[in-house]
Chains A and B, each alone.
Chain A
Amino acid sequence: MKILTLGTLLICFMFTSCSDDDNTTPLLEVASKTVSNLNAPQVGGRGQAISGEFTKFNFATGQSTTSDTDWDIAFRGTSIIVNGGTSLGTTDEPVRTGIAAAYIESGTLASVTEVDLSLLTQDSANGYAINGWYSLDTTTYILSALAGKIIVVKTHDGNYAKLEILSYYKDLDTSKESRYYTFNYVYQPNEGVTTF
């Protein structure tokens, strides 16, 4: 897994750089990054019971992690879970230890600029918070990430991030192996800030 910095989005909040007598610490930079080929294997599927470790991801570090607690979202096959709420009950699903939540908003990564707190949902026994991000061609069985589905995430420790899944295939090539996520994301490192 490699991480690229695509470009940076500098958020200039009121007074941050202009006022001399401002005591607040300057806000951290909000950057748009890409995660490529994050492997999310699973065992089973296609009629067989699904199991296997989820591949966990932490937005603050921009890295996958094996930590039991410091993860925000995790991937296994097409399933995406958040570190908040309760398990759906499938085999090998990790215990939720954080306060993570998520929802899907229509838009482009740039056009989603604010978190709508009222929409945030956690995983539960009735289903995952992140659902319906892809479509499956029933003749070719090629899976594609739906356009304009921006996943807005509250991280396990209460910060916010947004991401757009681009591909489910290795090197963005649908003829190669599946269960390799590539996505663009923006992490808001400043605590409590709900804008991007």
Chain B
Amino acid sequence: MHFITKLLIMKHIFILAVLNSSFYLAHAQGSVNDTTKVKQLEEVVITATRTIRQLSSLPLPVQIISEQEIKNSNSLRLNDILSEQTGLISVPNFIGGEGVQLQGLSSQYTLILIDGLPLIGRSAGTLDLRRVAVGNIKQIEIVKGASSSLYGSEALGGIINIITDKPKNGFNGDINYRLGTFNTNDLSTSINYKKHKLGVHTFFNRYSSDGYDLTENDDLNTVESFSNYTLDTKVTYDFSEATNLFVLGKYFTQNQDYVASSALKGESDINEWNTHLKLNHKYSKKWGSYFEFYATRYKTKDYLNNENGSRYSSNHYNQLLIHPETQVTFNPNDKNSFIGGIGFNHETLDRTDFTTKPEFNSPFIYAQYDGNPTEKLNVILGARFDDNNKYKSQFSPKVALRYELNKKIAIKGSIGYGFKAPDFRQLYFDFTNATAGITVLGYNAVTDAIPQLQAQGEIASIIVPISEFEGSLNPENSVSINFGIDYKLSSNLKFSLNVFRNNINDLIDSRVIAYKTNGQKIFSYYNVNKVYTQGLEINASWKPINQLKFSGGYQLLIAKDKDVESAFKNGKMYARESPSSPSFQLKKDDYFGLYNRSRHMANLKLFYTISKWNLDTNIRGTYRSKYGLFDSNGNDTLDTHDIFVNGYAIFDLAVNKTVYKNYGLGFGIDNLFDFKDTQNISNITGQIIYGKLNIKF
């Protein structure tokens, strides 16, 4: 719907308006028969400007992953396909979620959208990408660089927007089944119907696995066995050429074993639903608007029982987001377009270890101009204002320019502001660890909790006065700069280069604010660190013949904490050769940078089609250079004398064959050479062999 309505609205992109639904169809189906048609058309994206735009003419660094690539790679979950893209990596966090690192920023700084609307439910900042099935994805759009000017909080490093299948003319469907190592079963089916005004699209997925264990000598598995279900239904109704309605309901549920030790066992559950209603109307050739209402709830529950069946612990987490928004589009002529929007975010959270049931209310307003003052110059100016009842209001501007030097070369640059609101945990946590005895208080919880503890005689000394907690915590914020060149040697050979720098301020960290009479510490959050990430990204694709495509990418990354960097420069950093040997002084160049960042990342992919056998085959390799996960020599920072995780490369192979037009058979080996680093990398399981069956009707 997003797609169709935008197509209707954005008349000035003539190619799309003319092709309108036929393009949409070709693109959406993405089956073997359609690929040639699709290739002749320009690829389009919606995420970068919140309007339909040709990918090749954008002044921003944007990558897209096509449905075809997802299908040919036989991906199952979002993390599978994202980690094969240049500059992206799927990183496991300490509680098992897998988030994405983008331009060297960790996963809490990348906004994840489905059809333009945010997913919620992050644990310790990580939105677990394994929650998202890829079977109904039409296209994934990745916009790099701060984009809070359109999307507000969390769009600090960039945005990943998952565009899903929408109803299209006809009645058809498919069934897919994949069985692989670790008894991993994936069954999905989609049914599509559209005739005249009414369209319906339903997608169902069941995904289950026995899990796996990388460390044999304990009672736990690295990933315990689980099963989950996704059900997603969309209904569209076209009242007229100018007015249409879109309704979505989506539900996800997962049940997983939860094992803490041989004696403590239980289960954990996730339940998530999303609803989205969107009404589009086009008033004239120039004016259009939509109204949308989005609501989503993310709930988790877990428990552990003792051996005798009595309850040891239980936790719950229940987050709600309600988001109404209206947007107006104005296209005075072919060269200029304006959008303006206004909306409201209402967010609540009820969870274990919280002082209150906090509530965020955040109205916002944004506007954007996208125009071509001259034939060769494209300008985007945008800004957004987010007000909030719990933290400082944010104004997020952005400017982007693209200039076509000639038919082959274009240069582009953008600068934007991004922010991430303090999360509920950083504001309201009130948690005391039963075994270690450490207390962690959210910034806003301090002024109540400390006097209370004092009254109970539990405070020995206060290190940071309570008065420092009477203000408000600043959102983490950044200024990001991207500068790039697109070089199109021929229609078969393309290069792009992007140089980036993100300057991040007010990163939130925790510090000791008081000591308890039992000798333990009380922590709270504050704005402290300044970090930067910078580097360059190169992407190339080459199609020597129609059946063969090579693509490759490389990212160079330097990610450092500014204070630590100057401590190294000033000779203030020391290390130990072995854990208990005397200290020695480190040199300026010994600073490696932030944890879990690889200086080099690269990928190389080869897609080959053998038409006469109806065979699609590909081999995909990804590489990341060495990185450090923790300090090993006594200075709480990562220096060149620390222990590193060795660099590695992983190769995936997939073969898919179509038989009798409507049947597909697939086979593949992920991680062909069985790479594992059981000590350091919990999300690489070793070799995975699978088979796949696909039926269309």
Contact = CB atoms under 8 A, between A and B. Distances in A.
B406 interface: no
A167 B463 CA distance: 26
Given A47-B436, A106-B572, A90 B463 contact: no
B462 A126 contact: yes
Contact of A167 (B462, B580, B633): B580
B60 interface: no
A172 interface: yes
A141 B433 CA distance: 13
A137 B437 contact: no
A45 B519 contact: yes
For B460, B463, B519, B576, the residue with the greatest tally of chain A CB atoms inside 10 Å of its CB is B519
Interface string A154-194: 00000000001011010010100000001010000000000
A125 interface: yes
Interface of B is mostly: loop
A182 B435 CA distance: 27
B660 interface: no
A144 B436 contact: no
A48 B520 CA distance: 9
Given A47-B435, A90-B460, A172-B580, A77 B631 contact: no
B519 A90 contact: yes
Contacts of B433: 47
Interface string B413-428: 0000000000000000
A148 interface: yes
Contacts of A42: 519
A42 B519 CA distance: 11
For A46, A109, A137, the residue with the greatest tally of chain B CB atoms inside 10 Å of its CB is A46
A176 B634 CA distance: 19
Contact of B519 (A49, A167, A174): A49
A46 B437 contact: yes
Contacts of B519: 42, 44-45, 49-50, 77, 79, 90
Contacts of A16: none
A184 B582 contact: yes
Nearest to A48: B518
Interface string B29-56: 0000000000000000000000000000
B582 A44 contact: no
A137 B595 CA distance: 14
A106 to B, nearest CB: 5
A61 interface: no
For A49, A109, A125, A174, the residue with the greatest tally of chain B CB atoms inside 10 Å of its CB is A49
Nearest to A166: B580
Interface residues of B, number: 34
Contact of A147 (B462, B518, B634): B634
A164 B583 contact: yes
B584 interface: yes
Interface string A81-108: 0000000111000000000000000111
A166 B581 contact: yes
Contacts of B455: none
A108 B574 contact: yes
B675 to A, nearest CB: 23
A146 interface: yes
A41 B437 CA distance: 18
Contacts of A89: 460-461, 517
A17 to B, nearest CB: 29
Given A89-B460, A137-B630, A147 B432 contact: no
A30 interface: no
Contacts of A148: 572-575, 583, 585, 634-635
A127 interface: yes
Nearest to B94: A139
B563 to A, nearest CB: 14
A166 B437 CA distance: 26
For B435, B573, B635, the residue with the greatest tally of chain A CB atoms inside 10 Å of its CB is B635
Contacts of A174: 579
Interface string B622-646: 0000000011011110000000000
Nearest to A126: B461
A49 B634 contact: no
Contacts of A27: none
Contacts of A47: 432-437, 518, 520
A2 to B, nearest CB: 16
Contacts of B582: 108-109, 164, 166, 184
Given A47-B436, A166-B581, 11 more contacts: A44-B519, A47-B434, A89-B460, A108-B574, A111-B585, A139-B94, A147-B576, A164-B583, A166-B580, A167-B579, A184-B582
12 contacts: A45-B518, A47-B434, A48-B437, A49-B518, A49-B519, A89-B517, A126-B461, A135-B631, A145-B580, A146-B636, A147-B634, A172-B580
Give 7 closest A-B pairs by Cβ, nearest first. Answer: A148-B574, A47-B437, A147-B634, A50-B519, A167-B580, A147-B574, A172-B580
Interface of B: 94, 432-437, 460-463, 515, 517-520, 572-576, 579-585, 630-631, 633-636
